[in-house]
Amino acid sequence: MLRLLARPARHRPLEVHRPPLVHSFEPGEPWFWDYAESELYESGPRLAPPAGHPADRPAPGPAGRVPEDWKRLLR
């Protein structure tokens, strides 16, 4: 235990790093979010493919496990 106290920098939790800009991966959604400025952009630079997951394959999620009234539950 004394060794841990003597070298606290070696045992601190890892910092979480987040990219400053994120882009939607949903087909047809070209928006970007800027974390540094807390700003939404309707579009941004053209990115290398793929621009989104295939339209015939929905994003993974809890199929059959979302309540019918999920929108009401968010409020």
User: If you average pLDDT over residues 18-32, what whole number do you get?
Assistant: 84
Stated length of the chain = 75
pTM above 0.85, yes or no: no
Name 54's Cβ contacts closer than 8 Å, sequence gap at least 6: 27
Residue 38 pLDDT exceeds 50: yes
Task: Return the number of other C-beta atoms located less than 10 Å from residue 56's C-beta.
Answer: 6
Rounded CA gap, 37 and 23, in Å? 15
User: If you average pLDDT over residues 34-62, what whole number do you get?
Assistant: 81
Q: What is the pLDDT of residue 32?
A: 92
CB 11 within 8 A of CB 1: no
Residue 74 pLDDT exceeds 70: yes
